[in-house]
Amino acid sequence: MKQLFITGLMACLTLSLTAQDTDCSQIKPADKFTGTCATYFPGEKKDIKETRAYKDGLPHGEWKTYNEAGKLRETANYKDGKKDGEWLIWDDSGTKRYQMYYSNGTRTGLWIRWNEKGEEFFRKDYSAAK
């Protein structure tokens, strides 16, 4: 029983690592890919530029974008190919610049923008918009 559990755990870890190592440039729309893939900055180091999640070939789940220094630049969320949930954008210094929300591909909720000093200069609530 213990051996079966360990074998199953190893298989799950292998599948998890393989999905994250998938290069997005190798995926074709006809593949109907499900899992996570990555894009890379040019060069030999293979530094990750973006991670993307798909379900049946459509964006589904969290996408993350990084700058060349490896700092998180953007997070975005998709559901069944449409923008859905919170989207955040930071500048290279780490200052949050945008906070946005989508529901089923449509703007919703409170959208906020900040300048390079971190001072809010834009605020709009899309909750009532139809």
Helix (H) or strand (E) holding 79: strand 72-79
Provide the pLDDT for residue 46: 83
**3-class secondary structure, 63:** strand
Q: What is the pLDDT of residue 20?
A: 54
Q: Within the chain, which residues score under 50 in pLDDT?
A: 4-19
Cβ–Cβ under 8 Å, residues 88 and 102: no
**Confidence (pLDDT) at 14:** 36
The pLDDT, as a whole number, for residue 43 is 85
Tokens of 115: 């300048």
Query: What's the whole-model pTM score?
Result: 0.79
Residue 25 DSSP symbol: G
Q: Which domains does the chain have, with CATH numbers?
A: 2-125 (3.90.930)
Q: Decide: 18 and 12 in contact? Cβ < 8 Å.
A: no
